[in-house]
Amino acid sequence: MSSSPFSFTANVVKGAGRGRAIGSPTLNLALPNVPRTLRHGIYACRVQWNRRCFSAAMHYGPRPVFRAGNACELHVIDHAIRRAPVHVTVEVVKRLRSIRNFPTVEKLQEQIARDIEQTRTVLSALP
Give the closest residue to 29 by CA, choosing from 84, 97, 108.
84
Q: Is the pLDDT of residue 98 over 50?
A: yes
Per-residue model confidence as pLDDT tens digits over 65-90: 777 788 999 999 999 888 999 999 99
* Chain segment 27-69, per-residue pLDDT in tens: 999 999 999 999 999 999 999 999 999 999 999 998 877 777 8
Residue 1: the pLDDT is 36
Ordered domains of the chain (ranges, CATH): 6-122 (2.40.30.30)
Closest CA to 29 of 9, 51, 45, 48: 9
**Rounded CA separation 1/23 (Å):** 27
Q: How much is the average pLDDT of 91-118?
A: 93
Model pLDDT, residue 55? 97
